[in-house]
Amino acid sequence: MKNSRLDKLRKKRVDVELPDWVNSGNKMTRKLYDATIELVKELKTQIKDGVSKDLKFTDRTLVNAHIAKKAGVSDTNFRKDRQPGLLKFIKEQNEILVDMWKLDGGHPADGRRMSKPELEVAKTTLQKEVKDLENKKYREFFRELIDSQVIMEQSSLAERYTALQADYNTAQETIANLRLVQQQLMKQLNEASK
């Protein structure tokens, strides 16, 4: 009897329905998705608590490197060809976080004009954010460039391998023919010497 009462009182485990791209993905996709969800919850809490007012843009939004660090993996796992669904999800979540930040009074100078020192501070902060974003774009560009170079090198090596394999097969065939001719000549020489 006691067990049945306890069973009624226990909270039933709620299964969270995962997006299709997570279910159809590999373990890495699931790991990155879970880390993303955890970071989204943390950032939303920070925004609601007002902690995010003094944070940089990259500290109040999802950044691939932060997600990778949270998941304990390399940030090279964030490629369009490997994780298209996750990257789209991150972009959507970032838009939500930015909207929350704007609505939650993320700007300390709202409602009044900023003084010259405040404008200078805001200007340097924004310049730093722009520079950080430019560096991020450069890193992504060069990573994609390196990846494309590696793919091109792999395809040229594969072509070279098939050509060498064909040359090797031809050489093996020629050697077999020469051995056969040698055996025939040896037989003729032995028959002529008898």
CB 78 within 8 A of CB 68: yes
Give me 60's structure tokens.
């109040």
Q: What is the pLDDT of residue 14?
A: 47
Judge contact between 125 and 116, C-beta under 8 A: no
* Phi, psi for 26 (deg, rounded to 5): -90, -175
pLDDT at residue 174 in the model: 95
Q: Where are the domains of the chain?
A: 10-156
The answer to whether 82 and 143 have CB atoms below 8 angstroms apart is no
CA distance 187 to 7: 93
pLDDT at res. 178: 95
pLDDT at 1: 47
- Report pLDDT for 10: 58
Nearest to 36 by CA among 3, 63, 18, 15: 63
pLDDT per residue as tens, the chain (194 positions): 455 555 555 555 545 678 888 888 888 888 889 999 999 898 888 878 776 677 777 777 888 888 888 888 888 877 888 788 888 888 888 888 887 777 765 455 455 677 888 788 888 888 988 998 999 999 999 888 888 888 888 888 899 999 999 999 999 999 999 999 999 999 998 888 87
pLDDT at 165: 95
Taking the complete model, does pTM exceed 0.85, yes or no?
Answer: no
